[in-house]
Chains A and B, each alone.
Chain A
């Protein structure tokens, strides 16, 4: 039997996905996908639709709290009550989830319905791992299975009639002892590298970089979940490209012109130098606002992509962040040049709310 709640739940999901009742979409509080980022954990708000009501302006409302501190001290936390839940079903909760990154990737996969990636390359790098699967009668004492040994001894004593319920002393003898046994498992492991390229020319503002940061974080999380051994390379470019550290990647602000081919060239060189051979799964990502120096350079880019980059990459992703200055021409050029080629994915990111959709575009194909 379909449970009642299931119908209501499906209906809600459909509204959130925008399939029905589009006029409600504006009330969805998706929040920013990347909430607080703690040490190992992160919080993601769960989408909810709040119907408008006559209410007070909440955010800046005064309130009464309880605890230590002097006037002027911050009130930490975000104002939800204790863990109990009273029985009237009223009250708004913004659910914030603190989760481990691995768990997070799984949730991300579920939420966005991302398929698992089918790795390429021969998985000849195999990791050996011992897995304890069985029980045997001989083995080192360090692997003695206490519970099983105890059970055996108990069975034997009952059978022999030496078990006394009033004085339940169990003494295992040699034949009672049980030990854990293991098998060696060969786990194929795939290796992967992400090459992030970002346009840091004058037109990419703080907000644009922030959007790239958020998106890169999620892509990173997902791919790390899929591949155990993930390497990352960061490349920034304006008129020339250079490899930088992760910190620099997100904080550097250059200015000047934009020559995208410089980044693609550097990217290719890096791959050839360090990630050659078949065993690497290669994911180049490029983020820009879509302005390129000249049409000629764009042709160079397309040529580079077609002849060198695409044949060796799992998928090439281009994310175009909307900025006040960018013309957005580059995405159109790529789309025109590659059309239906599914080795290349382009995605426009109009604002922060578009990040989710863009991640889905990139990772939704399972390549």
Chain B
């Protein structure tokens, strides 16, 4: 820690206040850096030691130019580790840095307590440094170009991990013994039926419906037979296990995957994490720390971070959601009775003095991720009060336009945007397609097409690892298509007619 005496004093004060509020965090170490240093650290994703790669250099250039031209600066940078490390920008004003310290403690509490972070490596700082050393060794041995090319490829597949995969118990279905159960067949037949009284059976379970169900189950079984354990979402892990890689290639790929997995919880809790931290810095600053003379600067900074953009600002929406939940649970605006109340006026003044707000938000920060959080707590009132809307690109006017403010549509769109960290769900369904050792991927298409040129380029990268032809099945403009790459060229094939999804 190299804080100025003034900040060091505030730091202790803020930390103690945070503890009193019930925040629970790892020890947090603050470092004061100048903009050049903070940009460097930020370019490495918050870690002082990362493996060498040009993408970090690119990130640095953007941060650097953004700062020099006065467009943006980094306020805060905190990494999930035990102890937590956080960086402060030395040129920020004291008010800003106090705010950041309070904000950081919000993040640290979230890192430690949110269940989606529970499986992350808390010694990631060390592990990243080890990765860096290892990659440097491999570069020395095999040359910069091959290693870098491989990293490029791996990064192009980096989003093909199972974001929630750390919570699946048996990660490797190949190691799971296949139990042949003689009675399984009979069980299945019974399960087809809806339970009913005997005399109703003919109506509840008409033979043609049973037949359809049986076919579906068989179809599923056939699908699953292609891969034991069913489709695989963690493609990087899948490639690690099954692609013909050399030892060093395996190591590099594994490093990229481990780091991607480490960052995964941050991708799925952006709104919550920022909302939670903003909630706490607001409370701590306003109720305890802020000096009269600092109010304007504080308000100015707040206004900056919480600005309503045309796109949704995670800081803003997250903070507002937490405030809304706290308010509703304090006033008892939840549960069946409230939900069923049709009287607008009664809802307006509803207050049972339940006082459960604080408890409820701590519960949220413990168990939710962005998707479940929005699903559970984004109410119609909230949607209208905060003027949420859905926009769409209008090709005629060549600009994005507001389409609707309808609550159901907004919520559906928001959840869709957040699901799987905003990335398409792509699974491996067959490793031996057409009995030719070709890898077959399936995109679970929901509403949105894949970007075609990129999909094809990505396949090329995948081919380089798999070393046999690779395919991905998806939809393009309503038609089922298959993109393939056999190492020579990428092709797009339409494999069916347009039909409703």
A→B interface (CB under 8 Å): 3-5, 7-13, 15, 21, 24, 27, 46, 48-49, 51-90, 93, 95, 97-99, 103, 107
- A77 and B313 alpha carbons, distance in the complex (Å): 13
- A59 and B399 alpha carbons, distance in the complex (Å): 10
B414 at the interface (CB under 8 A from A): yes
Q: Which of A54, A82, A84 has the most CB of B within 10 A?
A: A54
**Interface residue from A13, A66, A78 paired with B386 (Cβ < 8 Å):** A66
B95 at the interface (CB under 8 A from A): no
B58 at the interface (CB under 8 A from A): yes
- Do the beta carbons of B386 and A56 come within 8 Å of each other? no
- Do the beta carbons of A81 and B312 come within 8 Å of each other? yes
B65 at the interface (CB under 8 A from A): yes
A53-B454, A89-B59 given as contacts; is B397 within 8 A of A74 (CB)? yes
A65-B310, A65-B402, A66-B313 given as contacts; is B397 within 8 A of A55 (CB)? no
- Do the beta carbons of A62 and B57 come within 8 Å of each other? no
Residues on A with C-beta less than 8 A from B413 are 62-64
A72-B402, A99-B69 given as contacts; is B391 within 8 A of A62 (CB)? yes
B225 at the interface (CB under 8 A from A): no
Binds A, one of B40-48, B164-172, B347-355: B40-48
A48-B58, A79-B310, A80-B309 given as contacts; is B46 within 8 A of A74 (CB)? no
- Do the beta carbons of A63 and B311 come within 8 Å of each other? yes
- A83 and B56 alpha carbons, distance in the complex (Å): 20
- A88 and B117 alpha carbons, distance in the complex (Å): 13
Q: Across the two chains, which residue of chain A brings its CB closest to B269?
A: A88
- Do the beta carbons of A65 and B450 come within 8 Å of each other? no
A71-B403, A87-B76, A87-B79 given as contacts; is B389 within 8 A of A52 (CB)? no
- A89 and B260 alpha carbons, distance in the complex (Å): 11
- A359 and B424 alpha carbons, distance in the complex (Å): 41
In the complex, besides A65-B310, A83-B73, A84-B75, 9 extra interface pairs with C-beta distance below 8 angstroms are: A52-B455, A54-B450, A54-B472, A55-B424, A73-B402, A80-B311, A81-B313, A82-B306, A87-B76
B107 at the interface (CB under 8 A from A): yes
B137 at the interface (CB under 8 A from A): no
B213 at the interface (CB under 8 A from A): no
- Do the beta carbons of B57 and A12 come within 8 Å of each other? yes
Q: How far is the CB of B411 from chain A (nearest CB, A)?
A: 9
Interchain Cβ contacts under 8 Å between A and B, 20 examples: A4-B40, A5-B57, A12-B61, A21-B145, A49-B58, A55-B159, A56-B450, A57-B449, A60-B392, A62-B390, A63-B311, A64-B312, A64-B389, A75-B391, A82-B306, A82-B316, A83-B305, A86-B273, A89-B43, A95-B66
Q: How far is the CB of A217 from chain B (nearest CB, A)?
A: 19
**Interface residue from B60, B304, B317, B389 paired with A69 (Cβ < 8 Å):** B389
- A66 and B55 alpha carbons, distance in the complex (Å): 32
- Do the beta carbons of B65 and A84 come within 8 Å of each other? no
Q: Across the two chains, which residue of chain B brings its CB closest to A94?
A: B62
Residues on B with C-beta less than 8 A from A83 are 72-73, 75, 304-305, 307
Residues on B with C-beta less than 8 A from A13 are 57, 61
Binds A, one of B149-157, B182-190, B290-298, B360-368: B149-157
Residue-wise, chain B 444-481 has the 8 Å CB interface mask toward A (1 for contact) of: 00001111111101100100000000001000000000
Q: How far is the CB of A15 from chain B (nearest CB, A)?
A: 6
- Do the beta carbons of A81 and B314 come within 8 Å of each other? yes
Q: How far is the CB of A47 from chain B (nearest CB, A)?
A: 9
Q: How far is the CB of B238 from chain A (nearest CB, A)?
A: 14
**Interface residue from B76, B404, B424 paired with A54 (Cβ < 8 Å):** B424
- Do the beta carbons of A81 and B309 come within 8 Å of each other? yes
- A8 and B148 alpha carbons, distance in the complex (Å): 11
Q: Across the two chains, which residue of chain B brings its CB closest to A12?
A: B57
Q: Across the two chains, which residue of chain B brings its CB closest to A70?
A: B402
- Do the beta carbons of A75 and B401 come within 8 Å of each other? yes
Report, nearest first, the 6 A-B pairs whose CB atoms are least far apart: A8-B57, A89-B45, A12-B57, A52-B457, A9-B57, A88-B266
Residues of B within 8 Å of A, CB-based: how many? 99
Residues on B with C-beta less than 8 A from A58 are 451
Q: DSSP majority for the A interface?
A: loop
Q: Quick one: which of B353-389 are within 8 Å of A by CB?
A: 386-389
- Do the beta carbons of B57 and A97 come within 8 Å of each other? no
Q: Which of A15, A63, A95 has the most CB of B within 10 A?
A: A63
Q: How far is the CB of B29 from chain A (nearest CB, A)?
A: 14
- A10 and B405 alpha carbons, distance in the complex (Å): 47
Residues on A with C-beta less than 8 A from B66 are 95
Q: DSSP majority for the B interface?
A: mixed
Q: How far is the CB of B490 from chain A (nearest CB, A)?
A: 11
- Do the beta carbons of B315 and A84 come within 8 Å of each other? yes
Residue-wise, chain B 68-91 has the 8 Å CB interface mask toward A (1 for contact) of: 010111111111000000000000
- A54 and B53 alpha carbons, distance in the complex (Å): 21
Residue-wise, chain B 247-263 has the 8 Å CB interface mask toward A (1 for contact) of: 00000000000000001
Residues on B with C-beta less than 8 A from A97 are 65, 69, 71
- Do the beta carbons of A57 and B69 come within 8 Å of each other? no
Residues on A with C-beta less than 8 A from B204 are none
Residues on B with C-beta less than 8 A from A70 are 402
- Do the beta carbons of A71 and B424 come within 8 Å of each other? no
- A188 and B313 alpha carbons, distance in the complex (Å): 52
- A73 and B404 alpha carbons, distance in the complex (Å): 10
Q: How far is the CB of B26 from chain A (nearest CB, A)?
A: 15
- A95 and B453 alpha carbons, distance in the complex (Å): 23
A55-B424, A64-B390 given as contacts; is B40 within 8 A of A5 (CB)? yes
B429 at the interface (CB under 8 A from A): no
B270 at the interface (CB under 8 A from A): yes
Q: Across the two chains, which residue of chain B brings its CB closest to A89?
A: B45
- A80 and B310 alpha carbons, distance in the complex (Å): 8
B214 at the interface (CB under 8 A from A): no
- A64 and B413 alpha carbons, distance in the complex (Å): 7
- A77 and B400 alpha carbons, distance in the complex (Å): 9
**Interface residue from A66, A77, A85, A88 paired with B316 (Cβ < 8 Å):** A66
Residues on B with C-beta less than 8 A from A12 are 54-55, 57-58, 61
- Do the beta carbons of A8 and B310 come within 8 Å of each other? no
- A66 and B318 alpha carbons, distance in the complex (Å): 13
- A83 and B422 alpha carbons, distance in the complex (Å): 21
Residues on B with C-beta less than 8 A from A74 are 397, 399-402
B393 at the interface (CB under 8 A from A): yes
- Do the beta carbons of B423 and A79 come within 8 Å of each other? no
**Interface residue from B270, B315, B387, B395 paired with A67 (Cβ < 8 Å):** B387
Q: Quick one: which of B122-175 are within 8 Å of A by CB?
A: 145, 148-149, 152, 155-160
Residues on A with C-beta less than 8 A from B395 are 60
- Do the beta carbons of B392 and A62 come within 8 Å of each other? yes
B229 at the interface (CB under 8 A from A): no
Q: How far is the CB of A38 from chain B (nearest CB, A)?
A: 14
